[in-house]
Structure 1
Amino acid sequence: MANNEWEGDFDPMADPEEQKHLLSVLDSFRSYRRLAHFNATHTRRQAFYSLPSAHWTLLSQPPFSILDSLIKLDDLIDSNAELAEAIFVTGFQAFIAPGLDSEWVSKLVPLHKERDEFYVYSTIMDHLNVTSTQNDLEKARSCVNQFYREWSADGAVERERCFSPIISRLESEFTKRKSASPSQQKSDIKVLVPGAGLGRLVFDICRAGFAVEGNEISYHELMASSLVLNHVEKPGQFTIAPFALNSSNHLSRADQFRTYAIPDIHPGTELSKSEDETPPYERMSMASGDFCVLYTQPGASATFDVVATVFFIDTAPNLIRYIEAVHNCLKPGGLWINLGPLLWHHASRPPPSEKNQDDDTKMKDENENAHAHSRAHIDTGIADPGSVELTDDEVVALVKHFGFDMEIHEPGSVETGYITNTRSMLQSTYRASFWMARKV
């Protein structure tokens, strides 16, 4: 990734509301260890000892050994927390540290602790009186688990089903273009990935030789992707137990407590193997901000050859805004490749009014996609009022209406889970739609 990590001129620290949200996100990762221990083991121990003494005594012994399981769970929480706290440090360094007064910090931190980055940054957070929202705390927990899907060896099953069709179509498009113009290089094809998440698809597209820009609005995802793409030192640097905190539907404790090494590869090492004329760090970047706002700007017009959306379009309250952004940023003849379900994230979102303005503001603050950054006075993007839920055939009709030819439409063709515990007694499977549309 580029040295500046995130492109764009937006400064979240210049906006009080955005700064408050950013600090809440940072605190949600910082608080992972403490809250997970409290919610996952402390409360369970209290509930366990509330059983009749004969019962908890029985369950304390083999083959049940519930108390031993809770001790093991505490260890796994600590392992997960190492990743969460590394994300906190990465995010703090990027957003907060550059603006700190070194003399003020030196007064807060004892000399013998000044090399402990987590301690230093956490002490500063304490003095900033930060309080995380419940949504941000849940998002931090989800973000840690998402590393299983995007950056573990076992997550390759879901990545193969969701990412491989995208890269396969990119390869086909390159072959088509090269046959018409033999001098064409893969790096000449510029791909945009909105909703880039933890950055694995962006990385895989870059590793395949294409130029790629990821876009993400969530600070949770931005900080996590920055850690894995720019700051990890080796494969398997962290170990996570993504299913440990959920105690339901397990066949055995061994299933519940399975661990996974992440990342499965070292991104920097893998990209260094590239033999392309254009170095990988010049072909991969990440832009932070609202997709609807960034890519409807005149400066973004006809910039990309391909837009690839995976499990993304159903995050739109109003899909027309997404379609307009894709149409604007694609070059004439450019491709929109989409794969995903339609689990509409904003179902039945009420319109704002003077009567419910406070509730509406709270609702937006609790949704990761409702932050329209400092451009809100011009275009609130995804934070616009109103929402609508469409069927797959309605989505396709709408895409066609706005100037695309649908070249491929395969509804229900990709069966996949999302951060699926394959050994769980409960299985959820999406029958995702796959389609490819070309801008007329």
Structure 2
Amino acid sequence: MATSHRREETAWGDVKDGTQDPEEIRVIFCAMDSFSDELLGDWSFRLTETRSQYAKVTHFNVTHLRRRSFYALPQAHWKLLAKPPFDFLNTLDRADEAIDSNAELARAIVRSGLRAFGSLAPMPDGTEPTMPQEWVGVAKHADIDKARSTIRQFYRDWAAEGAAEREACYGPVLRVLEAERARLRSQPKVLVPGAGLGRLVFDLCCKGFVAEGNEISYHQLLASSYILNECSAAGKHTIYPWVHTFSNHVSRKNHLRGYQVPDMHPATVLASSPGAGAMFMCAADFLCLYGDAAHEASYDAVASVFFLDTAPNLIRYLEVMRHCLRPGGVLINVGPLLWHFENQAPGHQDDDDGGQHGSSGIADPGSFELADDEVMALLRQLGFSVERHETGVEAPYLLDRESMLQTMYRASVWVARKPEEGRGEDTGDGEAGGDAL
């Protein structure tokens, strides 16, 4: 399933329907149901009238259980905390309001998704599609966790306050690609696997690159499609990314701080960028799609940001990246090595599989984890020439800088090049020099 943006358009095209795969349809509707609204008695509902699944579960976990625990305290204690300067019950009320604001974004995402997959969703009055009866209430806890995580990620990709994170993680990629454009004297074609909410792909397009994002998560795809295609204005939504936990806050003001998203209106920005390139988005397993003959030697660059450690088998990832790069193309990586499949058996699914494709290439049997120096050795064994490598680069990920707990990745940032045709492979132990990224 692929979508595209052409120069004369102003945003990514819709995530078009047309899939016939029952498993993919199930994954799509589990994702939409995790954002969507509770069931009414007649199995037909309006998205503006009821709480979202995200809101239902989050209200229960964040505020309902705390109210119950609050009133379980000795009466003298809860009465003390109910008065200023604590006003703890008022804090819970404000948290409920913040969750409802997050849920407004969730509802907008599912409305957009239902329109995008219109052939799969009924339109009883011919205006707005609704969730089919058989898919209401199917979201599992893992799906709702992903919905919550997706809403929080809008802070990183689409809030003005997330600019520092974007600079730390996307800045090195943009600088290398600017140098590549000068070297090639043309408009490089860039593949971004694990594109998430699409900000890096969007920024590349704005800067004149031909950028193609790939994402397997329909939570991310539905959210990015909404923000790029249908969101009507900058600052349309206010999100509260820190509301889900009550720990390590220096003040209630910071705990319940809202951020407006998006920080810009994508369609307006693209329309006012005469030098904009092109955007494409493919919803598929990276290994299955880009390892085929049609994608061989198709890209000048692959930009891997917080993506390599999602591999159970890194060799397969790197082989596919090498396969789809043109001779002389570059692989740019920014990220840690938080191996996602560590202590798991790839391909295993429990009862709450969270909407993953069980037959995907990513879930093929076998896994291993490497240290950063071993990743460098593997690159050379596979024929790449490592041109730049920097370790210990601070790379925040959804970091609340006012929190009493600061977690910062010390990322590995490197550039590796596929040899030009006719040149031998670089398997030496030395590391090429280069400027800091």
| TM-score, scaled to structure 2 | 0.86
Q: How big is the shift at 1:306?
A: 0.4
Match of 2:44 in 1: none
Match of 1:161 in 2: 168
Counterpart for residue 23 of structure 2: 17
Residues 162-191 of structure 1 show CA distances to partners (whole Å, capped at 9, x for unaligned) of 11110011111111223xxxxx3xxx3100
Question: Residues 215-266 of structure 1, C-alpha deviation per residue, up to 9 Å, x if partnerless?
Answer: 0000000001101111111110000010012100001110100110000011
**1:268 corresponding residue in structure 2:** 267
Distance 1:256 1:101 in 2: 40
1:38 pairs with one of 52, 57, 60:
60
1:36 maps to amino acid:
T
Alignment match, 1:371: 357
Distance 1:301 1:161, change over 3 A: same
Q: Please, which runs of 5 or more residues in structure 1 have no aligned partner?
A: 107-113, 179-183, 353-359
**Amino acid across the alignment from 1:310:** V
CA distance in 2, matches of 1:351, 1:89: 33
Work out whether residues 312 and 346 of structure 2, in 8 Å CA contact, stay in contact via their aligned partners in 1.
Answer: no
Q: Deviations over 1:384-422 (max 9, x none)?
A: 01211111111111111112111111122x202100111
Identity of aligned residues (%): 48
Q: Is residue 23–residue 130 contact of structure 1 (8 Å, CA) maintained in 2?
A: no
Q: Which residue of 2 aligns with 1:199?
A: 198
Encode CA deviations 1:190-222: one digit per residue, 9 max, x unaligned. 000000000000011111111100000000000
**Does residue 1:331 correspond to 2:326, yes or no?**
yes
**Which residue of the partner structure matches residue 415 of structure 1?**
394
Q: How many residues align?
A: 394
Match of 2:157? 150
SS of equivalent residue, structure 1 residue 305: strand
Paired residue for 2:14? Answer: 5
How many angstroms apart in 1 are the aligned matches of 2:249 and 2:261? Answer: 23
Q: How far is the alpha carbon of 1:88 from its aligned partner?
A: 1.1
Could you say which residue in structure 1 is the equivalent of 2:424?
none
Hey, which bits of structure 1, 4+ residues long, moved more than 6 A?
Answer: none
Distance 1:307 1:6 in 2: 22
Structure 1 equivalent of residue 241 of structure 2: 242
Alignment of 1:346-365 (within 5 A): 346-350=341-345, 360-362=348-350, 365=353
State the match for 2:230 in structure 1: 231
Note the residue ranges of structure 2 that are not aligned, 5 or more in a row. 6-11, 37-52, 420-437
- For 2:120, the aligned partner's letter is G
Q: Please tell me the residue identity of whatever aligns with 1:275.
A: P
Q: Given residue 300 of structure 2, which amino acid in structure 1 is its aligned partner? A: D
2:121 and 2:154 map into 1 onto residues whose CA distance is 31
What is the SS of the residue equivalent to 2:350? helix
Give TM-score scaled by structure 1 length: 0.86
How many Å apart are 1:303 and its aligned residue?
Answer: 0.5
Offset at residue 342 of structure 1 (A):
0.3
Give the structure 1 partner of residue 119 of structure 2. 98
Match of 2:41 in 1: none
Partner Cα separation in structure 2 for residue 298 and residue 403 of structure 1: 19
Kindly tell me: are residues 161 and 245 of structure 1, through their superposed partners in 2, closer, same or farther at Cα, counting changes over 3 Å?
A: same
Which position in structure 2 is the counterpart of 1:54?
76
Mapped partners of 1:228, 1:194: distance in 2: 19
SS at structure 2 position matched to 1:335: strand
Offset at residue 363 of structure 1 (A): 7.3
